[in-house]
């Protein structure tokens, strides 16, 4: 497997597209590669069947990264932060050795988002530890940021990323998830209001957990 610059880890098929696809698009324009990990196929969602949602995830990932996403085959709605899940995530981290890991913010109304957030935090620690049961070589992730998907927690952001220049591309990626139109329309309404409050047209919100960067404004220059 090839090393990647950015590893984005999503509980459901549309979470990366909503939470950080603008980040991925901006990174790509700066020459950086990304890979997407999807924990579930969205089988318990209110809209769309699991086969459709998986197809949507594959199509959008191919646009964002040029490759299919990696599915962890967890059960939508029943994700648990357990050893089995953490091993899966740690092995993916060791396999691709990313410079940046993006995962959901720890505060969210969806329990799956919280479970993946907690699991990734521990998996990053495990990936750099000398645990013989894990695959590949140890890898210490230099930068870990969490995408704030739930707009209620946007006030906890310490990175507000202007994605106005890639919004049209992000909209096309979001439109692929047609089964989730109601969710995406709601996101767009909140995003517009939140961005305006920061004097921006469009934006994404992140909380930085670990970074060796001295200046987050040089994010894409450094990585």
Residue the block writes with tokens 């739930």 = 150
What pLDDT, on the 0 to 100 scale, is given for residue 45? Answer: 60
Whole-angstrom CA distances from 133 to 3, 35, 70, 127, 172 are 21, 24, 21, 11, 41
Whole-model pTM: value is 0.92
First to last CA, the chain: 20
* DSSP class of 54: H
Percent of the chain residues past pLDDT 70, beyond the cut: 91
Distance CA 165, CA 201 (A): 9
Strands 100-104 and 34-38: unpaired
Instruction: For residue range 156-212, list pLDDT tens digits in order.
Output: 999 999 999 999 999 999 999 998 899 999 999 999 999 999 999 999 999 998 876
CB 62 within 8 A of CB 28: no
143, pLDDT greater than 80: yes
222 pLDDT band (50/70/90 cuts)? Answer: very low
12, pLDDT greater than 90: yes
219, pLDDT greater than 70: no
- Helix or strand (DSSP H, E) at 104: strand 100-104
What pLDDT, on the 0 to 100 scale, is given for residue 116? Answer: 97
What pLDDT, on the 0 to 100 scale, is given for residue 44? Answer: 65
Instruction: For residue range 70-106, list pLDDT tens digits in order.
Output: 999 998 889 999 999 999 999 999 999 999 999 999 9
What pLDDT, on the 0 to 100 scale, is given for residue 42? Answer: 75
214 pLDDT band (50/70/90 cuts)? Answer: low
Mean pLDDT, to the nearest integer, of 11-31?
94
């Amino acid at each position: 497997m090839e090393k990647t610059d950015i590893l984005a880890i999503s509980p459901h098929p549309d979470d990366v597209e909503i939470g950080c696809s603008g980040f991925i698009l901006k990174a790509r324009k700066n020459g950086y590669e990304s890979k997407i990990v999807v924990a579930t196929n969205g089988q318990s969602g209110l809209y769309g069947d699991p086969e459709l949602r998986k197809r949507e995830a594959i199509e959008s990932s191919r646009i964002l990264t040029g490759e299919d996403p990696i599915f962890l085959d967890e059960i939508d709605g029943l994700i648990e932060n357990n050893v089995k899940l953490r091993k899966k995530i740690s092995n993916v981290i060791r396999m691709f050795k990313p410079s940046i890991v993006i995962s959901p913010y720890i505060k969210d109304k969806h329990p799956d988002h919280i479970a993946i957030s907690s699991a990734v935090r521990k998996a990053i620690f495990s990936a750099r530890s000398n645990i013989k049961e894990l695959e590949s070589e140890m890898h210490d992730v230099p930068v870990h940021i969490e995408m704030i998907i739930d707009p209620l927690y946007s006030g906890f952001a310490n990175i507000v990323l202007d994605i106005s220049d890639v919004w049209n591309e992000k909209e096309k990626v979001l439109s692929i998830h047609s089964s989730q139109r109601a969710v995406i329309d709601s996101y767009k309404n909140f995003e517009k209001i939140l961005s305006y409050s920061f004097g921006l047209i469009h934006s994404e919100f992140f909380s930085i957990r670990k970074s060796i960067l001295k200046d987050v404004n040089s994010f894409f220059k450094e990585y």
